[in-house]
Structure 1
Amino acid sequence: MPPPPPQRNPWRYLRDADVLHAAVVTLLAVVLSAGLVWIGYVVHVWRIAGRAPTTLPGRWVVLVFGRQLVANEPERDYRGRLARALVLLRQRMAGRVLLLGGRSGGTRSEAEAGRAWLQRQGLPDDAQVELEQESVDSLENLRHARGLLQGGDRAEVLPPVALLTSRYHLARCLLLAQRLGFDGHPVAAEDALPRTPRYIALLLMEATYLMWIDLGVRWAGLIGHRRMAARIS
C-alpha cells in the first residue's frame, strides 16, 4: 500500500530560517514606507481579482487549486473552483484538468475529494482529470504539477496553463507560476468579485502573503542569496 499523501501544516514555515528572513525584510519595508508598500500589493491583488475572466478561448490544461477540506469534503470556496472546472469541461474549454492538493485534515487528499465531488455532479465520461495529491501549499501544487506536465523531463517545454482558483487567490498563484516557468492565465471561480467582509479579509490576507513572497525573492536576488531565491524556482 502506498504511503498516505502528506498533511498540510502551515506552522512548519515558522521553523524555516529563509521564510523568517523574508518576513523581517517585509516588515521593515512596510514600516519604512508607512504602509504604502502593503497598500500597493492590496491594489494589485484586488485588480487581478476583479478583472479575471471565467472562460477560456480554445482548449486548455487547467490547474484547479484545492483548499482545506471540512469533514473530509470540499468546503465552499473549493466547491466553487470545482464547479467552474465542471463548466469548462462541459463547454470543451478544458482538455486536461489537474486537481491539486494533498491531505488537509481528512483521511483523503483535497484532489481525491475534488474528483469525488465532480463525479457526483456529473463529470463527462471523456473528461481527462488527473490528481496531484503530494502537495501541501500553492507553491508545491505548482511544482508537482510542473513535474506531471513535463513527465519528469525538465527540458520539456511546459504548455500554457489556466490557473483556476478563487479570485482572492489568483495574484499569488500567478506570481508563483511565473517564478516556476509557467505561462499561466487566470480563471476565476466566482462570476464576480464578492464584496463581503469575509472576502475582503481574504483579499487583504492574500496581499500580505504576496508581499512576503515577492519582497523576499527580490531581496534574495539583491543580496545574492541563492538558497533563498531558489525556494521559489
Structure 2
Amino acid sequence: MRLTSSASQQGVDWDGLLMLVLSTLFILTTLGLSWLWLIFKTYRTAQQAPTPSQIQRPLIVFGKQLRHNQIDNDYRARLQRVLALQTDQPIFVLGGITAPNSVSEAKAGETFLRQHQPDLKPQLILEEASRNTLENLKQARLFLTRQDNPLQVALLSNRYHLYRCQALAQGLGFDVTLVAAEDRFDGHWTNCYKIFMEAFFSHWYHTGARVSRWLNNKRMLAKIH
C-alpha cells in the first residue's frame, strides 16, 4: 500500500534556517555544553536501544538516502532487522526521492523486503513524499489517526539515529518503543561522527521547538507538531 505518492518540495524554509542560526549561537554561548549534553543522550540511546525478536505495535522503518538508486549498508541493516522481527502489525517504510536518485527510499526498501520475504507485502505501507524524518513521521501519524489507531508505534533505525527519531516522534504525540538495526553499537570513528551530527540536528530541532512555543508562532508550531 502507498501512503502517499512522490511529491516535490520546493522553496527555502526560512524559519528552519533561522532556527539553525539560533541553535548554533546557543551552542557557542554555552561553550558547546548544550551540544555535549545531546551527544551524551544520543550515544546513550545508541548503546542501550533494544533488539527485540518480536513487536506488537505498528513498525516505522526510516528510509535513508540512496546511492545511485541503491540502498547503503546502514539502510540494509534496518531492512534486515525487519526481516528478523516477528510481527503481524503494519510496517511503514518511509522516505521519498532525493536527488540525484529516481527511486524513493521507501520503494527501494519495499523491493528489498519483498525480494527476501514476499509474504510481507500485505503489511507494507509506503510513504514516498517526504524527504526528512519529521515529515516521515507526520505522514505516518496522519495515516494512523485516519484509521482511528492509537499513536503507539515501534521505531526502527540505526543506533546513532534513534535518539532523534524518538525525540521527534514524542514531539508529535507518539508513544514509542525503539528497535535498533544493529546488534550492538560499533564505536568506529564513522559512527561517532554520526552521533555528533545527530546530536547537532537534535539540538536544531529542540531549539526550534522551544522558540516556537515561546513565541507562540502558529506557522512555526505547525512545522514541528
TM-score (norm 2): 0.90
Quote how far apart the aligned CAs of 1:125 are: 5.5
CA contact 1:146–1:158 (8 Å) conserved in 2: no
1:199 correspondence with 2:191: yes
- How far apart, CA to CA, are the structure 2 residues paired with 1:137 and 1:183? 20
- Identity fraction in percent: 36
Q: Which runs of 5+ in 2 are unaligned?
A: none
1:18 correspondence with 2:15: yes
- Residue 5 of structure 1: SS of its match in structure 2? coil
- Residue 63 of structure 1: SS of its match in structure 2? strand
Quote how far apart the aligned CAs of 1:126 are: 7.1
Of the three residues 81, 85, 98, the one matched with 1:84 is: 81
Summarize deviations over 1:77-110 as a string: whole Å, max 9, x none.
111000001111xxx2352211101112322211
Summarize deviations over 1:5-25 as a string: whole Å, max 9, x none.
13688xx5xx32211221222
Summarize deviations over 1:19-71 as a string: whole Å, max 9, x none.
12212221221121111111001001111111100116642210000001112
CA contact 2:62–2:133 (8 Å) conserved in 1: yes
- How far apart, CA to CA, are the structure 1 residues paired with 2:39 and 2:60? 24
| Larger displacement relative to structure 2 (62-71 or 220-229) | 220-229
Summarize deviations over 1:99-151 as a string: whole Å, max 9, x none.
10111232221111111111222343575111111111101110111122222
Quote how far apart the aligned CAs of 1:75 are: 1.1
Quote how far apart the aligned CAs of 1:214 are: 0.4
- How far apart, CA to CA, are the structure 2 residues paired with 1:231 and 1:73? 30
**Aligned position for 1:122:** 117
Q: How many residues align?
A: 221
**Aligned position for 2:50:** 53
**Aligned position for 2:41:** 44
CA contact 2:141–2:151 (8 Å) conserved in 1: no
2:154 is aligned with what amino acid?
A
CA contact 2:114–2:121 (8 Å) conserved in 1: no
Of the three residues 176, 192, 205, the one matched with 2:168 is: 176
CA contact 2:157–2:180 (8 Å) conserved in 1: yes
**Aligned position for 1:6:** 7
Quote how far apart the aligned CAs of 1:188 are: 0.6
**Aligned position for 2:132:** 137
Of the three residues 53, 61, 82, the one matched with 1:64 is: 61
| Larger displacement relative to structure 2 (24-33 or 137-146) | 24-33
CA contact 2:113–2:120 (8 Å) conserved in 1: no
**Aligned position for 2:29:** 32
| Larger displacement relative to structure 2 (218-227 or 141-150) | 218-227
- Residue 71 of structure 2: SS of its match in structure 1? coil
CA contact 1:8–1:102 (8 Å) conserved in 2: no
1:199 is aligned with what amino acid?
N
* Change in 2 beyond 3 A, CA 1:76/1:172: same
- How far apart, CA to CA, are the structure 1 residues paired with 2:8 and 2:198? 22
1:211 correspondence with 2:203: yes
Q: Which runs of 5+ in 1 are unaligned?
A: none
1:134 is aligned with what amino acid?
A
**Aligned position for 2:178:** 186
1:98 is aligned with what amino acid?
F
| Larger displacement relative to structure 2 (41-50 or 68-77) | 68-77
CA contact 2:5–2:127 (8 Å) conserved in 1: no
| Larger displacement relative to structure 2 (172-181 or 15-24) | 15-24
